[in-house]
Structure 1
Amino acid sequence: MKRAYATLLALCLALFGAFAAAGPAHAAPMTIINGTQFTDTSGGPVHAHGGGVLKVGSFYYWFGENRNADNTFRYVDAYRSTDLKNWEFRNHVLTQSSAFELATANIERPKVMYNAATGKYVMWMHKENGVDYSEARAAVAVSDTVDGNYTWQGSFRPLDQHMSRDITVFVDTDGTGYMVSAARENYDLQIYRLTADYTGIADLVADPWHGGHREAPALFKRNGVYFMLTSAATGWNPNQQQYATATSLAGPWTAMTNVGDSTAYGSQTAYVLPVQGTSGTSYLYLGDRWGNSFGGTVNDSRYVWLPLAFPTSTSLSMSWAPEVTVDTALGTVTGTSATYNTLIARHSGKCADVTSQSLWSGAQIKQYDCNGGNNQKYWFKSIDSGYYQLIVRNSSLCVQANASTVTQEDCNATTTSQQWSLTTSGNYVNVKSRAGGGCLDVNGASTANSAAVITYTCNGGTNQQWTRGS
Structure 2
Amino acid sequence: MRRLYAILLALCCALAGALVTAAPASAAPQTITNGTQFTDTSGNPVHAHGGGIIKVGAYYYWFGEHRNADNTFRYVDAYRSTDLKNWEFRNHVLTQSTDPELAVANIERPKVMYNASTGKFVMWMHKENGSDYSEARAAVAVSDTVDGDYTWQGSFRPLGQHMSRDITVFVDTDGTGYMISAARENYDLHIYRLTSDYTGIAALVADPWHGGHREAPALFKRNGVYFMLTSGATGWNPNQQQYATATSITGPWTAMTNVGDSTAYGSQTTYVLPVQGTSGTAYLYLGDRWGNSFGGTVNDSRYVWLPLTFPTSRSMSMSWSPEVTIDAAAGTVSGAGATYQTLIARHSAKCADVPNQSLWQGAALSQYTCNGGNNQKFWFKPVGSGYYQLMVRNSSLCLTENAANVTQENCNTAATNQQWSVTASGSYWLIRARTTGECLDVNGASTANSAALITYTCNGGTNQQWTRGT
TM-score, L = length of structure 2: 0.98
Tell me if 1:141 matches 2:141.
Answer: yes
* SS of residue paired to 2:193: strand
Deviation string for 1:137-164 (max 9, x for gaps)? Answer: 0000000010000000000000001000
The residue number in structure 2 matching 1:387 is: 387
The residue number in structure 1 matching 2:29 is: 29
The residue number in structure 1 matching 2:305 is: 305
The residue number in structure 2 matching 1:433 is: 433
Kindly state the Cα deviation for residue 425 of structure 1 after the two structures are TM-superposed.
2.0
CA distance in 1, matches of 2:353, 2:12: 66
Q: Percent identity?
A: 80
Q: Which amino acid aligns with 2:335?
A: G
* SS of residue paired to 1:228: strand
| Gaps in structure 2 of 5+ consecutive residues | none
The residue number in structure 2 matching 1:406 is: 406
Tell me if 1:104 matches 2:104.
Answer: yes
* Counterparts in 2 of 1:446 and 1:25: CA distance versus 1, 3 Å: same
Deviation string for 1:231-251 (max 9, x for gaps)? Answer: 000000000000000000110
* Counterparts in 2 of 1:297 and 1:155: CA distance versus 1, 3 Å: same
Deviation string for 1:41-93 (max 9, x for gaps)? Answer: 11000000000001000000000000011110000000000000000000000
Kindly state the Cα deviation for residue 259 of structure 1 after the two structures are TM-superposed.
0.3
The residue number in structure 1 matching 2:92 is: 92
* SS of residue paired to 2:189: strand
* Counterparts in 2 of 1:353 and 1:20: CA distance versus 1, 3 Å: closer
CA distance in 1, matches of 2:19, 2:318: 42
The residue number in structure 1 matching 2:340 is: 340
Kindly state the Cα deviation for residue 215 of structure 1 after the two structures are TM-superposed.
0.3
Q: Which amino acid aligns with 1:105?
A: A
* Counterparts in 2 of 1:463 and 1:128: CA distance versus 1, 3 Å: same
Give the alignment of 1:60-99 within 5 angstroms.
60-99=60-99
The residue number in structure 2 matching 1:183 is: 183
The residue number in structure 2 matching 1:221 is: 221
Q: Which amino acid aligns with 1:449?
A: N
Tell me if 1:281 matches 2:272.
Answer: no
* SS of residue paired to 2:191: strand
Q: Which amino acid aligns with 1:253?
A: W
CA distance in 1, matches of 2:307, 2:339: 18
CA distance in 2, matches of 1:17, 1:468: 56
Stretches of 4+ moved more than 3 A in 1? 1-21
CA distance in 2, matches of 1:181, 1:131: 21
CA distance in 1, matches of 2:21, 2:414: 37
Deviation string for 1:377-402 (max 9, x for gaps)? Answer: 00000102011100000100000111
The residue number in structure 1 matching 2:353 is: 353
Kindly state the Cα deviation for residue 413 of structure 1 after the two structures are TM-superposed.
1.1
Kindly state the Cα deviation for residue 426 of structure 1 after the two structures are TM-superposed.
2.4
Root-mean-square deviation (Å): 1.4
The residue number in structure 1 matching 2:113 is: 113
Kindly state the Cα deviation for residue 25 of structure 1 after the two structures are TM-superposed.
2.8
Kindly state the Cα deviation for residue 18 of structure 1 after the two structures are TM-superposed.
6.7
The residue number in structure 2 matching 1:376 is: 376
CA distance in 1, matches of 2:141, 2:16: 39
Stretch moving more, 420-429 or 207-216: 420-429
Kindly state the Cα deviation for residue 9 of structure 1 after the two structures are TM-superposed.
6.0
* Counterparts in 2 of 1:270 and 1:4: CA distance versus 1, 3 Å: same
The residue number in structure 2 matching 1:51 is: 51
* Counterparts in 2 of 1:425 and 1:281: CA distance versus 1, 3 Å: same
* SS of residue paired to 1:375: helix
* SS of residue paired to 2:311: coil
Kindly state the Cα deviation for residue 417 of structure 1 after the two structures are TM-superposed.
1.1
The residue number in structure 1 matching 2:365 is: 365
* Counterparts in 2 of 1:280 and 1:439: CA distance versus 1, 3 Å: same
CA distance in 2, matches of 1:315, 1:19: 43
The residue number in structure 2 matching 1:396 is: 396
* Counterparts in 2 of 1:200 and 1:352: CA distance versus 1, 3 Å: same
CA distance in 2, matches of 1:174, 1:377: 48
* SS of residue paired to 2:44: coil
Q: Which amino acid aligns with 1:380?
A: F
CA distance in 2, matches of 1:421, 1:13: 53
* Counterparts in 2 of 1:366 and 1:145: CA distance versus 1, 3 Å: same
> How many residue pairs align between the two structures?
469
CA distance in 2, matches of 1:431, 1:318: 33
Kindly state the Cα deviation for residue 15 of structure 1 after the two structures are TM-superposed.
5.1
Q: Which amino acid aligns with 2:237?
A: N
Q: Which amino acid aligns with 1:68?
A: N
* Counterparts in 2 of 1:13 and 1:384: CA distance versus 1, 3 Å: closer
CA distance in 1, matches of 2:366, 2:195: 58
TM-score, L = length of structure 1: 0.98
Kindly state the Cα deviation for residue 422 of structure 1 after the two structures are TM-superposed.
0.8
* SS of residue paired to 2:343: strand
The residue number in structure 1 matching 2:461 is: 461
Deviation string for 1:346-384 (max 9, x for gaps)? Answer: 111100000111000111111101000000000000102
CA distance in 2, matches of 1:256, 1:45: 35
Q: Which amino acid aligns with 2:353?
A: D
* SS of residue paired to 1:216: strand
Q: Which amino acid aligns with 1:424?
A: A
Kindly state the Cα deviation for residue 416 of structure 1 after the two structures are TM-superposed.
1.2
Q: Which amino acid aligns with 1:211?
A: G
Q: Which amino acid aligns with 2:43?
A: G
* Counterparts in 2 of 1:446 and 1:135: CA distance versus 1, 3 Å: same
